[in-house]
Amino acid sequence: MKIKIFKIIANLNFAIILLFIITFVILIGSIIEQDKPIEFYQQNYPEKNLILGFLNWKLIQILGLDHFYRTYWFITLLIIFGLSLLICTFLQQFPIVKFSRVCNFTKLSFVNLEISLEYSYIGKFINRLLKEGYIIYQQKTNLYSLKGLIGRVSPIFVHISILLILFGSIFSSLCGFNVQELVPQSEIFHIQNTIVSGVLSKFSQQPIRLNDFWINYYENNKIKQFYSNISIINENGDEIINKTISVNKPLIYNNLTFYQTDWTVIGVRVKQKTNYFQLPFILFENLNNKSFLSWLPIKIKDSFRDLNQNSFFIKTLLIDNYKENIFVYNLNGKIQTKVNINEFLNSKNYKIVELLVSSGFQIKYDPGIFIIYFGFAFLMLSTFLSYISFSQIWVNINKFKTPNKLVIFAKTNRDPTLLNIEVIKMTKNDK
């Protein structure tokens, strides 16, 4: 019973059907947005207007289609497919390789070529076989030669590489995580704002410090690149590693990858005589740039007893880039002045001390990524090797009773025409 079950799992048709199912569900996963809030699915996949006639947000939540790469049923499909490859390797591929290595002096029932040759030419024919890379075995008056045994072994390598890819994918799904952090400048932070995580994920508590942040602009004030200088520190506060990262130039440390993803201005520090206070900024995004808006109420009376509208006049502060210049508007929307850091507003009592900025990071832990990369590299190599022809040539001297004749049989698992041409050239009686 076990052998029958193993043969069913190792069957090629079963593997093709299973691969088709996996491909189909991956296609669904590429269409349905992954790891979004539930409000997103309620809005885009309502119960009334069904997608594809049956799909709504409730079904997406029940089946886990919003994170189906980490669902138990998808991982189960991958495991079954991996078992199919593994069992096929042991039940079919290893016996084929073992049989191919055997010195088989008996001609098989099916051959691609059968020709006769003068017995006196056998020495030259053997030399040409050796030059073409054939391995020759002799048994009495019979010869058996083979070439391209790696072509028989390569399907095993293909299966191994696919198993590595499957294992790496499952390992990453169960143990990996993805984190988004928005960190104020000069602050120390830990990994905590998880976006995606596996059931076996363990989060590093390594302290990280954002030392500095800056932006480079083009001449037309469009952002060219933005940078963050970060430090990995230990429990005693000592710096382990320091690196400046930017978009497409991450920091990789201890299997953690730190990507530069975003930035924002969170406030401005203002000095009034000897006092300091901070004003928050509101973000307004457009297609070309980010703008930040805040309001500064400036007191025009000495006492706070009368807190009516006439006690203050309002300054609107606007930042449309991070070049440390702030535009000041009145309540009528007219620009009054432009100030930079360490400069005063219209009133000499208010001085802009510092812009407060936060840098956005995506921190990713993908423990199976190197296994997947190695699996794909191994898959490409083994796929090329699998196209190498496995060729066999038999020389039977006693096939006919005529003593001065011998018969050559040839067989290959690839293109028989090329093998026929090769053998005919080797048997050609030229000088």
Cα torsion 18, 21, 25, 30: sign: positive
The two three-digit tokens of residue 141, written as one number = 């008056």
pLDDT at residue 375 in the model: 92
Please state, in angstroms and as integers, the Cα–Cα distance from residue 388 to each residue in 112, 152, 310, 384, 411, following that order. Answer: 17, 8, 89, 8, 14
Q: What whole-number distance in Å separates Cα of residue 267 and Cα of residue 211?
A: 18
Q: What whole-number distance in Å separates Cα of residue 356 and Cα of residue 414?
A: 68
The two three-digit tokens of residue 199, written as one number = 């059931």
Three-state DSSP class for 409?
A: strand
- Give residue 118's Cα distance to chain centre: 61
Place of tokens 């099916």: 110
Q: What whole-number distance in Å separates Cα of residue 102 and Cα of residue 3?
A: 25
The two three-digit tokens of residue 249, written as one number = 């130039």
pLDDT at residue 208 in the model: 92
Q: What whole-number distance in Å separates Cα of residue 429 and Cα of residue 408?
A: 14
Beta pairing class for 350-365 and 256-272: antiparallel
pLDDT at residue 154 in the model: 84
Name the residue among 87, 113, 121 with its Cα closest to residue 2: 87
Query: Virtual CA dihedral for 409, 415, 421, 422, nearest 10 degrees?
Result: -70
Q: Which residues, given as ranges, of the chain have pLDDT below 70? A: 1-2, 49-54, 99-120, 286-289, 298-314, 321-324, 346-348, 397-405, 429-431
User: Which parts of 176-279 fold into alpha helices (H)?
Assistant: none
pLDDT at residue 53 in the model: 58
Name the residue among 261, 256, 211 with its Cα closest to residue 231: 211
272-280 long-range Cβ contacts below 8 angstroms, 24+ apart: 272/349, 272/350, 272/351, 273/349, 276/353, 278/356, 279/317
Q: What whole-number distance in Å separates Cα of residue 169 and Cα of residue 380?
A: 18
Place of tokens 């293909």: 158
